[in-house]
Amino acid sequence: MERWFCEEVLPLEASLTRYLRRNWRTAEQIMDIRQDIYEAALTGGRQELPSHTAGYIFTIARNILVNRSKRERIVQFEHYADMESVEQGVDLSATDRHLDARDALRRAQEGIERLPPRCREVVRLRKIEGLSTREAAARMGVGIDTIERQLVLGIRAMADAMLGGAGKIRRGGAASTGKARRQ
């Protein structure tokens, strides 16, 4: 693994850095992004070494740039428009899809961990264990309405966390519950 990384990945560093500079707007983040790419390459390489290292590295780079753009909620094509520098014949490998899935799972777990204890338990019972609303309410000793409300708040907070937000539960008045204010 170390030999593969030193002989095949590190020689791509200059071209990878140029690619990142062309396709990412914040120069201060280039080194961090490059390290994320190396980490993803090493993680994926443990499963199976890619047959075409350059295509593999630049595919990971493209995916990381896309994911970071989504997290910032600014998806502009200029960030990764220079796809001609990546070999066109490269298809997303199973390893890369595995890395994306692992990253999504990690973000989901982090989102769940940020939830308050009761809300976390509701999300765990309903979405992970697959219990019905009634079963979850009986197990926790609360009403069905409580389970439904906690689930909505928890899913919203998790989605926010997975998209790069704070992942905090936002309790609001009429706007968040869907009830119209009477004046």
Q: Which of 45, 47, 85, 41 is nearest to 64 (CA)?
A: 41
Residue-wise pLDDT tens digits, 19-65: 999 888 888 889 999 999 999 998 888 888 888 888 999 999 999 99
Q: Report the CATH number at residue 138.
A: 1.10.10.10
Structural domain harbouring 144:
115-177
Q: Which of 60, 65, 30, 35 is nearest to 45 (CA)?
A: 60
In a domain, 108, yes or no: no
User: What pLDDT score was predicted for residue 168?
Assistant: 74
Same domain as 131, residue 74: no
Residue-wise pLDDT tens digits, 157-174: 888 777 777 767 776 644
B/e letters for 113-129, b = 16+ CB within 10 Å, e = fewer, are ebbeeebbbbbebbeee
